[in-house]
Structure 1
Amino acid sequence: MFLLGTEEIMNSEWWKNAVIYQVYPKSFNDSNNDGYGDINGIIEKLPYIKSLGVDAIWLNPLYVSPQVDNGYDIADYRAVDPRFGTNEDLYRLIDEAHKLDLKIIMDLVVNGTSDQHRWFKESCKSKDNYFSDFYIWKDAKADGSEPNNWGSNFSGSAWEWNDQRQQYYLHYYAKEQPDLNWENPRVREAVFDLMRFWKAKGVDGWRMDIITSISKNQEFPDNPAKHNEKYVVANQDNGPRMHEFIHDINQEVLAPFDMMSVGEAPASKSIDARQLVDPKRQELDMVFTFQHMHIDRQENGVNGRWDTQPADIVLLKSILSDWQNAMRDHGWNALYFENHDRARTPSRWGNDQEYRYESATAFATVLHCLQGTPFIYQGEEIGMTNPDFKLDDYEDVELRTNYRQYVEEQQTLSPEAFLKAAHQISRDNARTPMQWDDTLNAGFSESESWFKINERYPEINVDKDQKAQKSVSNYYRDLIKLRHNNLILRDGTYELKNAADPDVFAYERCLGEQKWTVVVNLSDKRLKRAKYYTPNLDSKVVISNYHKTKASDSDEILEPWEAIVFEDQI
């Protein structure tokens, strides 16, 4: 067995050997019982996070914000929002995490700001002050309409009229989130400066929100329309100067200060990502693709992400395999199934009733045995599920604006169909408060929480999971140990098996004379194992979510949602 030694870990890029735990502060742990998670609440739970064996924490935005988009509308990049605590609290969190050898990754949200940011308020005042060109302003057309047909990701036009300046400004998301003008070198320098500020406080790296959107086509052409769309969300990523701007970030901040980076790249396919993460190009370390997260979306639907379908496992295998093969020797993968924008996997793609433990650990096995850096979203490690909410229970600005567009205005979806889709894929499914125990409010807070608690918290919580025979979190601990201790998971080759099989994700990782075969049943069916793997006398079981310890224990059947990894010598 190829083991990864401490000296080698220290001498290599740390993030290639790491597992990163994502904390959504608003919903993690409330230390002062005001209903909002906070920084001191995160500090209280550092021992728990450390116990999982992870190496770093990614913090969603903690900055001052009106919270139109749950903190992604930032009004002050250098100040902590009072609902989360103080700057001093955050500095202490960074210090306490470092004492536990946990690195801190912060969110960089610089495609746009809040409309309450000083930059935007000043920019509104005139066309000839220092901040005038910090944002993207355009005159109305002769008929008074928007400058072009670009659409907002939150529905409607991407342009908003400003009475004070008598011009339209661009916003790819909510109208309260005006896009920054990266063509302006003053904007770029302001971003570099705020990144240096946080580096000085001890931050180790950045997750960069929609970073591939920062460059805009300066001709501002109309996007090709389909389905008689008035506003079109297309061709708004990967602009002409995107690589130049990201390279500038690398040269000005990332490389000089040795900061890790992972960029959100919504429209990127593997060939695009190779340009973004190839070390020779000096841009990013990793990117988050959205491609594999669309396997339950109808390809030609007229209602965007709300036209859902059952998960296409063949497509999932194809996409993940493409990224494994395309990125090998050309960069590094960021691996994830859940985050603050993604629903809970056991509910979305698995079976969150009869096989909640099994399906949660099955998908975890698929992900953590791939080449790349796994990201775990809070609650994923205990198999949290989507809540059974009514429409009025949802908070997300995207859901509310999309409901207005597709149900009320276009009437292309019924309220019932929209709610069914929301139960499957809404971003709010991941934002319910963390379930710590079966006491009041799931142990998150002694007060009523900012967002409704998932009704299954008495059954699914950290305390209960860690004591259970079928413990999702203990299985995650075992997976993380495997990643830390076995070089084959970092450097081994990848080969997909049974590509067209609709139920089983099977692949091989090989390094030297060692071969690991990962076999994961992603269905409720009992299947014949021999189709995917046949053990020999020397075969060993590396890990199994059915607690099998010998290759012969697997009999000849793959149980529903069974995940098992075999080791053989080539």
Structure 2
Amino acid sequence: MENQPWWRGAVIYQIYPRSFMDANHDGIGDLAGIVQKLPYVKNLGVDAIWISPFFKSPMKDFGYDISDYREIDPMFGTMEDFDTLMAKAKELDLKVIIDQVLSHTSDQHAWFIESREDKHNDKADWYVWADANEDGTPPNNWLSIFGGCAWQWEPRRQQYYLHNFLTSQPDLNFHNEEVRKAVLDNVKFWLDHGVDGFRLDAINFCFHDKLLRDNPAKAVEDRQGRGFSEDNPYAFQYHYYNNTQPENIAFMEEIRTLMNAYPNVVTLGEISSEDSLQTMAEYTQGDKRLHMAYSFELLTPDGNPQYIRSTVEALEDKLTDGWPCWAIGNHDVSRVASRWADKAHSAIQSKMFNALLASLRGSVCSYQGEELGLTEADIAFDDLQDPYGVTFWPTFKGRDGCRTPMPWYEKQVNAGFSDSNSPWLPVSQAHIENAVDVQEASKDSVLQAYRTFLHWRKTQPCLQYGDIEFIESNDDRLVFTRSYQQSKIMVIANFTADETLYQSPIADIKPLTGHGFEEITVNEQSQVSLAPFQMAFLTI
């Protein structure tokens, strides 16, 4: 087997630090808590962790509004805690990827505080400022993902500033070379600190259209959200001008040039554009841009075999030498067990979804709690923390339902997440019943299936590195092959609650074992019998 970069085919476990483990008893997860649970993470069979932001922040968007890129917010700990985490991860042979939020800062960042004072200071052009129209209205029709106009009036400058997200998250002006240099210096700071890579938040939002042209309207039938609520006015426009500008390609190359000075590091870009698959292909093309990227295309309510196949095939058609990364859940969307599964079969479907994700070509991002098959938590309005949910309640309840604390121990207060009387979000009762210790004690649990499959996957180069080719099947199955060097595996997923018989178009197939799913039979006619929601793996 040829030598492969560690990140190709890797399974990356996303940790949302606020909700993972609270070590200092204040009701909020922290870096020391992550250190405590790293052996658990290692035992899952994953290759790396991605830690959502832990930098200094006013927490208006829970860390994605950074006020100091080089300081750790005290609620998460200290730089010494981070050094301890890095040392423990290295001891366990786990790579560490951290978030970098480059397109915008907090309005409490020193850069913005200076920039907003007047039009002539050293940082005057570091953010996107624009004069009002003659009637005082904003310069164009751009909208914020979090609701309403994307422009906020600043009385000190007598101008509007751009915010693609919250008003407290002003967008940096990447047309300014000094901004790009300062941003990359912050990235270099963490490279020098030994991290193994970066998940680049909203990376296609770095540049805006210099002419500030209006976005065109979108027809009602085309208003399909990707990572945002479909009742959000944001879906009413084609976002051709407020993100994904041509100039951003050159910035991807600047990032890669920096990364190339550090061996074995990786960049993973988050993409949300009008054609995210095309943008993923462009941003990972060749060896001069991002190493890999993922989008919201599998983070939608569409979880049927036809949609999954069409999405993967569409990306494969667009990619040249780029490398994909897939996710079916994260901290921004409702839990996959609630989006794709039905209540009666949630556990067994979760086993299938986790294995299916890890069988697609590419690397994998797996969000904390997916190994437990956690469903979306029901959060009362009075308990909501997410400003997105507060704004769009009740038609959209925001992202808190997927961000509730990890349930570690069924019988402990707050399921072992924290002994505080008031964790930042309540622990779901449904999650407590599916706590880690409960599933540890059950050989048929989602957790045990997750572990078994990922450890088995490490023995299968086809699943880690191989090409993918789909085979025609009916609407209730997903069938494809993975090929690497001289080996080939057929993968079959039964999406129904019924037993099914699949007629293989390939005659010489033999079942593989050790993956954790029940053994299958193949008769003399090359027909494969599958139980409800079963995955089958066969050598060809």
Amino acid in structure 2 at the alignment position of 1:444: F
Q: Aligned equivalents of 1:322 and 1:73: distance in 2? A: 33
- Report if the CA contact (8 A) 1:541-1:551 is conserved: no
- Report if the CA contact (8 A) 1:149-1:232 is conserved: no
Alignment equivalent of 2:247, drawn from 234, 237, 241? 241
- Report if the CA contact (8 A) 2:502-2:527 is conserved: no
Alignment of 1:169-188 (within 5 A): 169-188=161-180
Matched, 1:432 2:404: yes
Q: Aligned equivalents of 1:122 and 1:326: distance in 2? A: 43
| Higher helix proportion (structure 1 or 2) | 1
- Report if the CA contact (8 A) 1:541-1:550 is conserved: no
Q: Percent identity?
A: 36
What residue number does 2:259 align with?
Answer: 254
Amino acid in structure 1 at the alignment position of 2:511: K
- Report if the CA contact (8 A) 2:520-2:529 is conserved: no
- Report if the CA contact (8 A) 1:350-1:523 is conserved: no
Relative to structure 2, which stretch is displaced further, 210-219 or 234-243? Answer: 234-243
Q: Aligned equivalents of 2:315 and 2:216: distance in 1? A: 28
What residue number does 2:451 align with?
Answer: 477
Matched, 1:264 2:264: no
Map Cα deviations across residues 246-289 of structure 1 (whole Å, 9 max, x no partner). Answer: 111211x2111232000011114333322211234x01011111
CA RMSD in angstroms comes to 2.4
What residue number does 1:117 align with?
Answer: 109
What residue number does 1:273 align with?
Answer: 280
What residue number does 2:539 align with?
Answer: 567
Per the alignment, do residues 234 and 96 of structure 1 end up closer, same or farther by CA in structure 2, a change over 3 Å counting?
same
Alignment of 1:126-525 (within 5 A): 126-226=118-218, 232=237, 234-235=239-240, 236-251=242-257, 253-258=258-263, 259-267=265-273, 268-280=275-287, 282-296=288-302, 311-327=303-319, 330-351=321-342, 353-403=343-393, 415=394, 418=395, 422=397, 426-438=398-410, 439-447=412-420, 448-498=422-472, 501-524=474-497
| TM value normalised by structure 1 | 0.86
Q: Secondary structure at the match of 2:283?
A: helix
Q: Secondary structure at the match of 1:436?
A: coil
What residue number does 2:225 align with?
Answer: none
Per the alignment, do residues 249 and 514 of structure 1 end up closer, same or farther by CA in structure 2, a change over 3 Å counting?
closer
Q: Aligned equivalents of 2:522 and 2:382: distance in 1? A: 50
Q: Aligned equivalents of 1:283 and 1:512: distance in 2? A: 27
What residue number does 2:518 align with?
Answer: 547
Q: Secondary structure at the match of 2:71?
A: strand
Alignment of 1:32-47 (within 5 A): 32-47=24-39
- Report if the CA contact (8 A) 1:18-1:484 is conserved: no
What residue number does 2:91 align with?
Answer: 99
Q: Secondary structure at the match of 1:133?
A: coil
- Report if the CA contact (8 A) 2:453-2:515 is conserved: no
Per the alignment, do residues 19 and 124 of structure 1 end up closer, same or farther by CA in structure 2, a change over 3 Å counting?
same
Amino acid in structure 2 at the alignment position of 1:273: M
Q: Secondary structure at the match of 2:157?
A: coil
Amino acid in structure 2 at the alignment position of 1:445: S
Per the alignment, do residues 464 and 248 of structure 1 end up closer, same or farther by CA in structure 2, a change over 3 Å counting?
same
Amino acid in structure 1 at the alignment position of 2:14: Q
Q: Aligned equivalents of 1:364 and 1:88: distance in 2? A: 34
Per the alignment, do residues 278 and 535 of structure 1 end up closer, same or farther by CA in structure 2, a change over 3 Å counting?
closer
Q: Aligned equivalents of 1:469 and 1:272: distance in 2? A: 42
Per the alignment, do residues 96 and 52 of structure 1 end up closer, same or farther by CA in structure 2, a change over 3 Å counting?
same
| TM value normalised by structure 2 | 0.91
Q: Secondary structure at the match of 1:90?
A: helix
Q: 1:66: Cα distance to partner?
A: 1.0
What residue number does 1:528 align with?
Answer: 500
Map Cα deviations across residues 11-66 of structure 1 (whole Å, 9 max, x no partner). Answer: 43110142111110000000111000001000001111111122211110000111
Alignment equivalent of 1:88, drawn from 80, 95, 104? 80
Amino acid in structure 2 at the alignment position of 1:539: K
- Report if the CA contact (8 A) 2:375-2:431 is conserved: no
Over 4 Å off, 4+ runs: 226-233, 534-538, 543-546, 549-552, 554-557
Q: 1:142: Cα distance to partner?
A: 0.3
Q: 1:538: Cα distance to partner?
A: 5.9
- Report if the CA contact (8 A) 1:543-1:564 is conserved: no
Q: Secondary structure at the match of 1:134?
A: coil
Q: Secondary structure at the match of 2:175?
A: coil
What residue number does 1:299 align with?
Answer: none
